[in-house]
Amino acid sequence: MATVTRTTTATDIELILRLDGGAVEVSTGVGFFDHMMTAFAVHGGFGLQLRAVGDWHVDCHHTVEDTGIVLGRAFKKALGDRADIERYGHALIPMDEALGFCAVDVSGRPYLAFDAAFPQERVGDFDTCMTEEFFRALCDNAGFTLHLRCPYGKNAHHMIEALFKAAAHALCDATAENSTGAVLSTKGTLSE
């Protein structure tokens, strides 16, 4: 379990993450983003309690990006030295006409490869361009190498949801305890 709080002039965020499951309660003030964070927790099998208050009078940018920062820090804290995890995970998730792909290496090295062109600029009060910003903040702060791709789709809601669910399933597999109990690295460590 990891608890992380972060307060800036733009956002005030409190987050509790449980890798082994638990209650899911999400409130960010951005409806579609609440839906995505809830789907991420449910499909990843993570317990997630998230409360974010942001400068919504500007737009959703700071709320979404800062939530990625805090979630990344929570994963980093919860995983500790990453000594006994599977390390790698991947998933393909269909959402009607859209297909989301995610591959992850929980390596301690942050990198995001993102390939998705959304046909709509907004889904509700969520700017679709913030999908990439959220995952970049998550990777940078968790130390994940994450490849996300949505090669086709006509509905931005479906495309983004497929990506969030694919990331959740991939991270569920990657953060699971491995059967050997050994560090899955020839260097003997998965820390920075």
pLDDT over threshold 90, residue 188: no
Which tens digits make up the pLDDT trace of 3-14? Answer: 999 999 999 999
Q: Against a cut of 0.85, is the pTM above it? A: yes
CA 24 – CA 94 distance, rounded (Å): 23
Kindly report the CATH number assigned to the domain that includes residue 30: 3.30.230.40
Q: Tell me which residue range forms the domain holding 93.
A: 2-174
89 pLDDT exceeds 80? Answer: yes
Please check the confidence at residue 192 and state whether its pLDDT lies above 60.
Answer: no
Per-residue pLDDT of 117-150, as tens digits, reads 999 999 999 999 999 999 999 999 999 999 999 9
Assess if residue 170 is contained within a domain: yes
User: Cα–Cα distance between 15 and 99 in angstroms, integer?
Assistant: 29
106 within some domain: yes
Residue 46 pLDDT grade (very low, low, confident, very high; cuts 50, 70, 90): very high
188 is a domain residue: no
Map tokens 């260097």 to a residue.
187
Indicate if the pLDDT at residue 38 is higher than 70: yes
**How many structural domains comprise the chain?**
1
What is the pLDDT at residue 59?
87
Rounded to a whole number, what is the distance in angstroms from the first to the last CA of the chain? Answer: 20
How far is the C-alpha of 54 from the C-alpha of 94, rounded, in Å?
A: 32
Beta-carbon contacts of 43 under 8 Å, excluding residues fewer than 6 positions away, are: 164, 165, 168, 169, 172
Q: For 57-70, how does the pLDDT look when each residue is reduced to its tens digit (9 = 90+)?
A: 888 999 999 999 99
